[in-house]
Amino acid sequence: MTSKIDKFPGTPLREEDFKEGKILYHHDEMNGQFAWDTGIAIGSYLAALKAGVILGSHCRTCRKTVVPPRTVCEWCFRPMDSYVPLRDTGTVNTFSLCYVTWDMKRIKDPEIPAVIEIDGASPLHGIMHKLGEVEPDEVKIGMRVQAVWKPEEDREGSITDILYFKPIKALHRGFGRREVPEGHQRRGKDSGLLLRSLWDHLRPCSTVLRTLHGQAG
Amino acid sequence: MGMRKVAVVGAGMTKFMRRAQETGKELSWQATRMALESCEMTLDDIEAVCLGTAPDAFDSVHLKGEYLSDGAGAWGKPFMRSYVGGGTGVFAPIQGWYHVASGLFDTVLVVCEEKMSSYYPHAQGAFLTIFDHTTERALKPNLLWIFALEMNRYMQTYGLTKEDIAQVAVKNKRNAADHPCALLGDPDITVQDVLNSELLAWPVNRLDVSPVSDGAVTIVLAAEHVAKRITDKPVWIQGVGWSLDTAYWTNRDLAYPRYVEYAARMAYEMAGIKEPRKEIHIVEPYDPFDYKECHHLEGLLLADRGQAPQLVADGISLRDGNMPVCPSGGLLGVGNPIAAAGLMKVAELFWQLRGEAGARQVPGQPKRGLAQAWGDLMQVGTVVIMGTNP
């Protein structure tokens, strides 16, 4: 059939045809505004981010820890009802050096999006975020990274409360994978306080979660 | 399984263009008219219409199914639009297939249309909303990220280089030079051209990506007793399959598309295929990016993991190789009007298996082909297997 047809329908246009007014067109702009409810699991995730913690959820049946947290386990369809605070460190699963914006304008210093496997989550379980404080040509898959947080008073319960992830510099070179994330000691001192404030954020969510699952069950 | 046999009896398509003067309705009608003429049928002979088109956000037309219905010939008939992202173009014929296989209808039109040029300033904007609104969109991602991330993971896992993968773009763009509807056919393109093209999001360069396009494709499906009256060369749908992976795309293996494997296994079982590498003669996997063709060939079990780029290097996947891959020119060469691009692959198998593909004809009278598409947030696989035997 295609071998017998030499003229296929369709009239290609060029960008210039618009600029030179050779064709008529109608232009319009849409201004959509939305506010999305965070839901129960992601609500807890955001509250935890505000408190400086990356939160996952755990399925007791499948023994999986996922991030971001969710209310249902995709594998067994049972409730995923225990939240697990994860570490704010992880491993670069993959990355890109992006030199264009969404509307294809070029940018000079590339953005470095990455999938980061978060420590404490199941293998290959990560989140998408960006890398910083690193030269583009030094980024490697498998690199160890740590979250750089906004100052506590500026956090608003959003994924952007983490500014980016930066490489962890090993303190004991040649000592295998041993590493001390920056600020770890300071964290140790007021970790009790931190966990208490996190619990204050999570308690309402957990109650809702239990109620929901109670109804469902 | 108690299902009727279904054949493709006609096909038609428009040119794939960066920007078409015709509206989506007009493109749909052009392709549909051509498909009906190709099998000497009229709209009166058609009992139901299936339409495939990508998100309403593309051209900011709400309820695009209804909008396109007159061009698709749907008036006064059972009509339904399906949508599974980039996988739509191969899902719509599956939908048409079960309309006929179930015994509900004897003849069905499958129409796929896309007009991506309406979105300003760039169609990529229409894809921004595929990311999770709360956990991902706050980071201001763009569509290229997700492909670049997946491609990098794929290359790293199997130790592949950009050169290995660029060969796929070269093969497809050269194949497309013989396609009368192609947007980016180029008989003289080289691996160096691909590597030297503008860097968008490492490891993705401009020529690793298929172009934004407008276009439409239509096929006509018929039940066995009707198909045999319409044509002496029906092409039979032997197997179909589709599957979905987790929407939490950062929680899974990015180097291997297991959802494509699940879809392929479903289709192979239905078609009675035990050794796909020997029994599939032509493959039209979805190739919006060059690495995706490799990714999908592995998911389809037609190449070992990490070995798909070698098929081009060895000449196996060239048009005159043992297992031609994308002899049409694929999305990289012909163009990528999302849903229409998937159905173009099904139409290509129809023409190839009838020996009507002209300059693109695969030698050796191929008997069976496979078309596959992929989409949503990188997690749906759709597969159709077609052959000259019912």
Give dist(CA B182, CA A157) in Å, integer. 49
Query: Which tens digit of pLDDT belongs to each residue from B224-247?
Result: 999 999 999 999 999 999 999 998
Q: Among B49-53, B80-84, B120-124, B274-278, whose mean pLDDT is lowest?
A: B120-124
Does pLDDT of A211 surpass 70?
no
Please, what is the Cα angle at A163 between A157 and A164, to 5 degrees? Answer: 130
Query: Which tens digit of pLDDT belongs to each residue from B139-192?
Result: 999 889 999 999 999 999 999 999 999 999 999 999 999 999 999 999 999 999
Does pLDDT of B252 surpass 80?
yes
Structure-block tokens of residue B231: 């044509």
Q: Which residue of B has its CA nearest to A74?
A: B246
Contacts of A12 (CB under 8 A, 6+ apart): B15, B17, B18, B19, B20, B21
DSSP state at residue A121: B
Q: How many of the other CB atoms lie within 10 Å of CB of B390?
A: 14
Does pLDDT of A212 surpass 80?
no
Does pLDDT of A204 surpass 70?
no
Q: Judging by DSSP bridges, how do beta strands A144-149 and A162-167 pair with one another?
A: antiparallel
pLDDT of residue A217: 34
How many domains, in total, are found in chain B?
1
* Position B151 in a domain: no
CA A75 to chain centre: 21
Contacts of B173 (CB under 8 A, 6+ apart): B184, B185, B186, B189, B207, B329, B332, B333
Give dist(CA B45, CA B40) in Å, integer. 10
Query: Which tens digit of pLDDT belongs to each residue from A29-65?
Result: 888 888 999 999 999 999 999 999 999 999 999 999 9
Residues of A within 8 A of B248 (CB-CB) are 66, 68, 70, 74
CATH number of B115's domain? 3.40.47.10
Does pLDDT of A174 surpass 50?
no
Of A8, A13, A99, the CB nearest to B180: A8
Q: What is the phi/psi pair of residue A116, to 5°? A: -115, 120
| More confident: A128 or A194 | A128
Residue B229 three-state SS: helix
* Position B219 in a domain: yes
Give dist(CA A171, CA B265) in Å, integer. 49
pLDDT of residue A188: 43
Give dist(CA A81, CA A213) in Å, integer. 9
Cα A130 to Cα A87, A111, A166, A176, distances in angstroms? 17, 7, 9, 26
User: What is the pLDDT confidence band of residue B109, given thresholds at 50, 70 and 90?
Assistant: very high
Q: Which residue of A has its CA nearest to B215?
A: A10
Give the mean model confidence (pLDDT) for residues A176-201: 51
Query: Which tens digit of pLDDT belongs to each residue from B115-125?
Result: 998 888 888 88
Does pLDDT of A186 surpass 50?
no
Contact A124 B150 (CB under 8 A): no
Amino acid code (one letter) for A51:
A
Question: Whole domain around residue B319: which residue ranges?
Answer: 6-119+211-387
Give the mean model confidence (pLDDT) for residues B108-121: 92
Residue A127 Cα, gap to closest chain B Cα (Å): 5
* Position B129 in a domain: no
Contact B202 A101 (CB under 8 A): no
User: What is the pLDDT confidence band of residue A201, given thresholds at 50, 70 and 90?
Assistant: low
Looking up tokens 């199941």, which residue turns up?
A122
Amino acid code (one letter) for A122:
S
Residue B144 Cα, gap to closest chain A Cα (Å): 8
Give the mean model confidence (pLDDT) for residues B315-321: 95
Counting Cβ atoms within 10 Å, is residue A62 exposed (0-12), middle (13-18) or buried (19+)?
Answer: middle
Cα B27 to Cα A88, B19, B20, B114, B160, distances in angstroms? 52, 12, 9, 9, 40
Give dist(CA B35, CA B43) in Å, integer. 11
Give the mean model confidence (pLDDT) for residues A161-189: 64
Of B20, B135, B181, the CB nearest to A68: B135
* Position B294 in a domain: yes
Q: Which residue of A has its CA nearest to B121?
A: A103
Residues of A within 8 A of B19 (CB-CB) are 12-15
- Beta-strand runs (E) in chain B: 6-13, 48-52, 79-82, 107-115, 199-202, 204-205, 214-223, 235-244, 282-284, 368-375, 380-387
Q: Judging by DSSP bridges, how do beta strands B48-52 and B107-115 pair with one another?
A: parallel
pLDDT averaged over every residue in chain B: 94
pLDDT of residue A104: 82
Q: Which residue of B has its CA nearest to A68?
A: B135
Give dist(CA B360, CA A1) in Å, integer. 12
Residue B50 pairs in a beta bridge with: B80, B110
Does pLDDT of A185 surpass 50?
no
**Percent of the residues in chain B that have a pLDDT greater than 90, as a whole number:** 89
Of B17, B136, B152, the CB nearest to A95: B152
Contact A36 B134 (CB under 8 A): yes
Residues of A within 8 A of B138 (CB-CB) are 158-160
Give the mean model confidence (pLDDT) for residues A70-74: 94
Residue B335 Cα, gap to closest chain A Cα (Å): 13
Does pLDDT of B345 surpass 90?
yes
**Percent of the residues in chain A that have a pLDDT greater than 70, as a whole number:** 77
Residues of B within 8 A of A27 (CB-CB) are 120
User: What is the pLDDT confidence band of residue B55, given thresholds at 50, 70 and 90?
Assistant: confident
pLDDT of residue B61: 86
Q: How many of the other CB atoms lie within 10 Å of CB of B217?
A: 35
Contact B17 A13 (CB under 8 A): yes
pLDDT of residue B229: 95
* Position B344 in a domain: yes
pLDDT of residue A182: 55
Residue A113 Cα, gap to closest chain B Cα (Å): 7
Q: Which residue of A has its CA nearest to B20?
A: A12
What pTM does this model have? 0.91
Give the mean model confidence (pLDDT) for residues A51-80: 94
Query: Which tens digit of pLDDT belongs to each residue from A127-156?
Result: 999 999 999 999 999 999 999 999 999 999
Half-sphere exposure of A114 (CA within 13 A, CB side): 29
Q: Which residue of B has its CA nearest to A107?
A: B200
